[in-house]
């Protein structure tokens, strides 16, 4: 059970844990843990200060600031309150668009973006002031992912990333979360704006072994949902799958498929539910419909002809005899940017063994890609058309989401359509080794 801790309680617990042992009692193995505790303590103090500053700013202006640096001075005296001691990058985010224009900031705060402002307003309507407004993900800990500051200035831990809301953490425990969500749904069961609470409550019922309440909730949702609306059907399918009613979920998704709605995510749902029903071959077919690149695994990848960022002609055939990674990316894609250091590491390790990279940017503005490439000293060639999803190369390969790293062997055959993280180095090492062995 996750409990929302008041600031005083959090600080008290952390202070006690930080000073429970004397220096002579600490072993080398304990040192990282003690340091983590001190970092969390200091980070918590930062969030307390930020929370007070945000509340004062909101009271005076009737809204939140666009950037946390807007608090500095009148509302937040010490700019160091914006830096988490566990942040090894010193307040420089991996996602360039989140870079505060005035000060280094360690904390996730997305009011600068109109889309996130709308999301905040939407989640506030659903959950109230318990929603997180500032988050820190710099503390490596198996018990939590994020340290959160809520709109009501409470500090709590959660395992959820930014876009996922965890009611049991926000409300201070699973029982309180259930009680709160039940009241919200009873008050407005047909309010589409809170439909996400139905699967949230089903999950909590399953976790507390209250499956008898699930049938009632599912039937209630069926009575208020729009049977022709994709999102409502996906919500119903989610609830059915949570309780293992996969055949019923399959009927829901098959009904959507018959409507011919031209939505590839219907294929994704069908693929996953067929896997759960052990219909492996059928699932494979739907996976390919969802992501056509899968059909190329083990087969020759079609060649392309384009112009690179320097105006020189480039084609896949130019790289025959090498293991090559086609990296479809964009500056606005946070997972893509997060993966760049890993690609650089693998490139530096294996470039002399026959490995190379071609970047295909899906940015709409060439200068954004250019600035990022230069600022981060990316050495491989890049194709930057400035056409976003309509990039000719991405359209040729049916790229529908990014990151999309296609790893291709020396003969031009697709090894993997998702070569990322540790898998990238493993697959590249195997591919270049196989060539050297031959």
Mean pLDDT of 7-29: 36
pLDDT score recorded for residue 49: 97
Would you give the distance in Å from CA 189 to the centre of its chain? 30
Q: Are residues 258 and 190 in the same domain?
A: yes
pLDDT score recorded for residue 15: 31
Q: How many independent structural domains does the chain possess?
A: 3
Q: Are residues 142 and 54 in the same domain?
A: yes
pLDDT tens, position by position, 242-278: 999 999 999 999 999 998 777 889 999 999 999 999 9
| Beta bridge partners of residue 315, listed in sequence order | 305
Which of 146, 172, 198 is the last residue before a domain boundary?
172
Q: Based on C-alpha coordinates, what's the Rg of the chain?
A: 25
Percent helix, percent strand, percent coil in the chain, to nearest 5 = 55, 10, 35
Indicate the pLDDT class of residue 192, thresholds 50, 70 and 90. Answer: very high
Q: Is residue 2 one of the residues assigned to a domain?
A: no
Q: Is residue 300 one of the residues assigned to a domain?
A: no
Q: Is residue 234 one of the residues assigned to a domain?
A: yes
pLDDT tens, position by position, 362-376: 999 888 899 999 989
The residue range of the domain holding 258 is: 175-295
Q: Is residue 226 one of the residues assigned to a domain?
A: yes
Output the CA–CA distances (angstroms, integers) from residue 316 to 90, 143, 382, 383, in the order listed. 39, 45, 12, 12
Mean pLDDT of 27-38: 70
d(CA 150, CA 47): 10
pLDDT tens, position by position, 40-69: 999 999 999 999 999 999 999 999 999 999
- For the cut 70, the answer to whether the pLDDT of residue 226 exceeds it is yes
pLDDT score recorded for residue 427: 96
Q: Are residues 162 and 30 in the same domain?
A: yes
Q: Are residues 15 and 148 in the same domain?
A: yes
Mark 234-260 as b/e (b = at least 16 C-beta within 10 Å).
bbbbbbbbbbebbebbbebbeebeeee
Output the CA–CA distances (angstroms, integers) from residue 12 to 3, 22, 25, 50, 72, in the order listed. 15, 18, 21, 19, 27
pLDDT tens, position by position, 119-164: 899 999 999 999 999 999 898 776 888 999 999 999 999 987 766 7
Percent of the chain with pLDDT over 90: 74
| Mean predicted lDDT score pLDDT of the chain | 88
Indicate the pLDDT class of residue 94, thresholds 50, 70 and 90. Answer: low
Q: Are residues 65 and 157 in the same domain?
A: yes
Q: Which helix (H) or strand (E) holds 394?
A: helix 392-396
Mean pLDDT of 21-27: 37
Q: Are residues 309 and 432 in the same domain?
A: yes
Angle at 303 between CA 301 and CA 305, to 5 degrees: 150
Q: Are residues 131 and 185 in the same domain?
A: no
For helices 230-242 and 197-207, give the axis angle rounded to 10 degrees.
0
Q: Are residues 36 and 103 in the same domain?
A: yes
Q: Output the domain CATH number for residue 284.
A: 1.25.40.10
Which of 149, 172, 195 is the last residue before a domain boundary?
172
DSSP 89-105: TTT--SSGGG--SSS--
Q: Is residue 396 one of the residues assigned to a domain?
A: yes
Which of 295, 329, 346 is the last residue before a domain boundary?
295
- For the cut 60, the answer to whether the pLDDT of residue 295 exceeds it is yes
Q: Is residue 158 one of the residues assigned to a domain?
A: yes
- For the cut 70, the answer to whether the pLDDT of residue 29 exceeds it is no
d(CA 340, CA 348): 12
| Beta bridge partners of residue 324, listed in sequence order | 356, 408
pLDDT score recorded for residue 387: 92
Q: Is residue 219 one of the residues assigned to a domain?
A: yes
- For the cut 60, the answer to whether the pLDDT of residue 87 exceeds it is yes
Q: Are residues 282 and 376 in the same domain?
A: no
| Beta bridge partners of residue 407, listed in sequence order | 325, 416
pLDDT tens, position by position, 107-118: 999 888 888 889
**Range in 95-99, 266-270, 332-336, 406-410 the model is least confident about:** 95-99
148 neighbors 155 (Cβ within 8 angstroms): yes
Indicate the pLDDT class of residue 95, thresholds 50, 70 and 90. Answer: low
Q: Output the domain CATH number for residue 419.
A: 3.40.30.10
Q: Are residues 152 and 186 in the same domain?
A: no
- For the cut 50, the answer to whether the pLDDT of residue 28 exceeds it is no
d(CA 166, CA 236): 19
Indicate the pLDDT class of residue 351, thresholds 50, 70 and 90. Answer: very high
Q: Are residues 179 and 107 in the same domain?
A: no
d(CA 166, CA 131): 9
- Give the list of residues 6+ apart from residue 44 with CB closer than 8 angstroms, or none: 7, 10, 11, 14, 147, 155
Q: Is residue 324 one of the residues assigned to a domain?
A: yes
Q: Are residues 15 and 102 in the same domain?
A: yes
Angle at 40 between CA 34 and CA 43, to 5 degrees: 140
Q: Which two structure tokens, joined as six digits, stand for 75?
A: 């509302």
Mean pLDDT of 168-177: 95
- For the cut 90, the answer to whether the pLDDT of residue 22 exceeds it is no
pLDDT tens, position by position, 371-405: 999 989 999 999 999 999 999 999 999 898 899 99
């Amino acid at each position: 059970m996750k409990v929302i801790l008041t600031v005083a309680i959090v600080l008290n617990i952390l202070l006690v844990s930080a000073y429970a042992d004397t220096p002579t009692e600490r072993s080398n193995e304990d040192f990282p843990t003690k340091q983590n505790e001190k970092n969390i303590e200091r980070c918590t103090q930062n969030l307390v200060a930020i929370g007070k500053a945000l509340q004062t700013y909101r009271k005076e202006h009737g809204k939140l600031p666009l950037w946390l640096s807007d608090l500095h001075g009148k509302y937040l005296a010490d700019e160091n309150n914006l830096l988490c001691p566990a942040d090894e990058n010193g307040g420089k985010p991996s996602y360039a668009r989140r870079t505060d224009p005035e000060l280094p900031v360690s904390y996730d705060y997305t009011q600068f973006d109109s889309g996130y402002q709308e999301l905040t307003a939407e989640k506030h309507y659903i959950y109230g002031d318990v929603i997180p407004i500032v988050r820190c993900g710099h503390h490596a800990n198996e018990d939590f992912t994020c340290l959160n500051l809520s709109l009501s200035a409470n500090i709590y831990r959660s395992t959820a990333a930014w876009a996922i809301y965890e009611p049991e953490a926000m409300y201070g425990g699973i029982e309180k979360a259930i009680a709160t969500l039940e009241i919200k749904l009873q008050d407005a069961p047909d309010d589409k704006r809170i439909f996400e609470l139905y699967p949230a409550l089903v999950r909590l019922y399953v976790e507390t072994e209250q499956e008898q309440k699930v049938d009632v909730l599912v039937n209630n949702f069926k009575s208020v949902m729009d049977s022709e609306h994709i999102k409502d059907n996906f919500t119903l399918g989610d609830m059915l799958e949570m309780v293992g009613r996969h055949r019923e979920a399959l009927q829901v998704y098959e009904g959507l498929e018959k409507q011919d709605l031209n939505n590839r995510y219907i294929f994704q749902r069908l693929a996953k539910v067929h896997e759960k029903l052990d219909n492996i071959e059928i699932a494979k077919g739907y996976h390919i419909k969802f992501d056509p690149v899968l059909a190329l695994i083990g087969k020759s990848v079609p060649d392309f002809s384009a112009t690179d960022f320097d105006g020189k002609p480039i084609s896949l055939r130019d790289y025959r005899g090498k293991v090559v990674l086609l990296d479809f990316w964009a500056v606005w894609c946070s997972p893509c940017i997060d993966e760049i250091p890993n690609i650089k590491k693998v490139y530096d390790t294996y470039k002399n063994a026959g490995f190379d990279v071609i970047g295909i940017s899906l940015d709409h503005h060439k200068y954004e890609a250019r600035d990022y490439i230069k600022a981060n000293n990316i050495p491989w060639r890049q194709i930057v058309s400035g056409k976003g999803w309509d990039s000719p190369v991405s359209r040729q390969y049916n790229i529908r989401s990014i990151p999309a790293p296609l790893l291709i062997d020396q003969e031009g055959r697709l090894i993997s359509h998702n070569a990322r993280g540790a898998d990238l180095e493993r697959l590249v090492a195997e591919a270049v080794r196989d060539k050297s062995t031959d």
